[in-house]
Amino acid sequence: MTREDRRTWLDTRARAPWRGFRLWLLSFPTMAVVAWMNTAVSMISIGLGIPMMPSAVRLQRRMTNVYRDRIGEWTGRRIERPYLSHEKDPRFATMSRAQRCFMRAVSDPATWRDYSFLMCEPIVAIFTCALPFLLIVYGVWGWMLSMWAGAVLGDIGAQDWYAMIPISQDYTQQPERVVGTAVLGTLFIAIGFLIGPAMLDYHARWARWLLGPTEKARLALRVQHLTETRHDAVDASAAELRRIERDLHDGAQARLVAMGMSLGAIEHLLDKDPEKARLLLAETRASSAKALAELRDLVRGIHPPVLADRGVGDAVKALALDHPLPVEVTVELPGRPEAPVESAVYFAVCEMLTNAAKHSGARRVWVELTHNDGTLRATVTDDGQGGASLEAGTGLRGVERRIGTFDGVLALSSPPGGPTIVTLEVPCDLRTTSHP
């Protein structure tokens, strides 16, 4: 075991008991949430529970989300949120707003799994994640008894026990009791630190069993996610078609119409005024060159030729050459993904580079494309001022929707002062052959 491994091992065991105790401390607000939920459930029969239930469920979900976040952060066992959206459920279409809110709250199975978890958690936590901390505290109490607290209790005539050792008036006159108390205290402290990570992990498994989605819920969430991403894909495609139509109408089409009118005028001027006809021909030639350039730019925006010919790696390198900032590109792709995935990743990286140039205040940008374990990963890092967010209107939401069509995910890290790191992952296989 290396020095770094030993440090990590010791750090894990030192932190685990305290983290477990902090999870148990959440039991106090948890009991308040359960009390409010019980009140709402008990009053459903008289009608008052109907308006109370949605707020109770929202409060309950906030509480369980705190558990999910803490457990995921401290144990590495990520717990997915299992909640289904019933916004468009046709079963509730004819109900009033209050009834719809109530039915959405009570018809989701995750509501009652959360409720079961919060009901049992205060007791379960004591015997799992909080137990190591309590053992350590009990061990520290044993040391205090052996050093001075035992004498104080003996002087006031108190009768107590430390494990199997009696603490009485003659406690200090029996050295074997004092030493035994210290040894037992040391043993309790050692056990608390040793079992801390395991007990925290047991608690995380218990929490994931109730707070995570069931297979049925996971499948429903999957269907819901795919439905939403497909809608986003259709909307994005429609918007892209409208953009192409607008660019053609305002750009190349207008120039072609003007060229047609110029050619008509040239026909009438060839015999009457050849010199003016020659000038119009020169202008028409220039207009044709501009129209051709606009058409090329439009085609490049739809699907760049270098992307079709050389793949996403070389396309991103070509993109970096035209970027106003120095961009370092690292590509480790043994093959090429399917064309739709390749296009989505390319335009996602393009958007992230544009954001870096416009908003970050960066001096350099790094792009890395890799493929591991069936996942294509693209990371764009800049040394700018940071502070980016998905809600800031920088186009990252559009990137997230674009790759979401392929079950991709986007992660953003942008603390104030930088750096900003945007990572997207898209599950896909690579092909060694080129696209047809």
DSSP string, 360-396: I--S-EEEEEEEETTEEEEEEEE-S-----TTSSSSH
Domain that holds residue 333: 306-427
Neighbours of 163 (CB within 10 A): 12
Domain check: are 23 and 101 in the same one? yes
User: Does the pLDDT at position 318 exceed 90?
Assistant: no
Give buried/exposed letters for 94-130 (b at 16+ CB in 10 A, else e). eeeeeebbbbbbbebebbebbbebbeebbebbeebbb
Domain check: are 118 and 265 in the same one? no
Domain check: are 310 and 409 in the same one? yes
Residue 30 amino acid letter: T
Reported confidence tier of residue 246, pLDDT bands at 50, 70, 90: low
* 432 in a structural domain: no
Per-residue pLDDT, averaged over 404-411, amounts to 80
Give buried/exposed letters for 269-282 (b at 16+ CB in 10 A, else e). beeeeeeebeebee
List phi, psi (to 5°) of 341.
-65, -45
* 390 in a structural domain: yes
Domain check: are 44 and 92 in the same one? yes
* 222 in a structural domain: yes
Among 96-105, 114-123, 257-266, 356-365, which is the least confidently predicted range? 257-266
Q: How far apart are CA 432 and CA 297, in angstroms?
A: 29
Per-residue pLDDT, averaged over 354-375, amounts to 86
Q: How far apart are CA 436 and CA 421, in angstroms?
A: 34
Residue 117 amino acid letter: F
Identify each DSSP E strand in 132-289 by its residue range: 160-162, 165-167
Q: How far apart are CA 200 and CA 14, in angstroms?
A: 12
Per-residue pLDDT, averaged over 227-248, amounts to 60
Considering Cα of 181, then 183, then 189, then 195, what sign does the dihedral take?
Answer: negative
Give me the pLDDT at residue 9, please: 64
The last residue of one of the domains, among 171, 188, 213, is 213
Per-residue pLDDT, averaged over 235-240, amounts to 57
For residue range 132-171, list pLDDT tens digits in order: 999 999 999 999 988 888 888 877 877 788 888 888 878 8
The last residue of one of the domains, among 213, 242, 260, is 213
Domain check: are 17 and 96 in the same one? yes
Domain check: are 126 and 193 in the same one? yes
For residue range 60-70, list pLDDT tens digits in order: 999 999 999 99
* 433 in a structural domain: no
Q: How far apart are CA 56 and CA 34, in angstroms?
A: 9
User: Does the pLDDT at position 256 exceed 80?
Assistant: no
Q: Report the number of distinct structural domains present in the chain.
A: 3
Domain check: are 220 and 118 in the same one? no
Domain check: are 40 and 189 in the same one? yes
Q: Give me the percent of the chain exceeding a pLDDT of 70.
A: 81
Q: How far apart are CA 279 and CA 283, in angstroms?
A: 6
Q: How far apart are CA 47 and CA 397, in angstroms?
A: 41
For residue range 277-308, list pLDDT tens digits in order: 777 777 777 777 777 766 666 555 556 677 77
Per-residue pLDDT, averaged over 208-220, amounts to 80
User: Does the pLDDT at position 436 exceed 50?
Assistant: no
* 257 in a structural domain: yes
The last residue of one of the domains, among 213, 237, 265, is 213
Among 145-149, 208-212, 428-432, which is the least confidently predicted range? 428-432
Give me the pLDDT at residue 226, please: 64
* 434 in a structural domain: no
Domain check: are 28 and 151 in the same one? yes
* 7 in a structural domain: yes
Give me the pLDDT at residue 337, please: 86
Give buried/exposed letters for 238-254 (b at 16+ CB in 10 A, else e). eeeeeeeeebeeebbee
* 436 in a structural domain: no
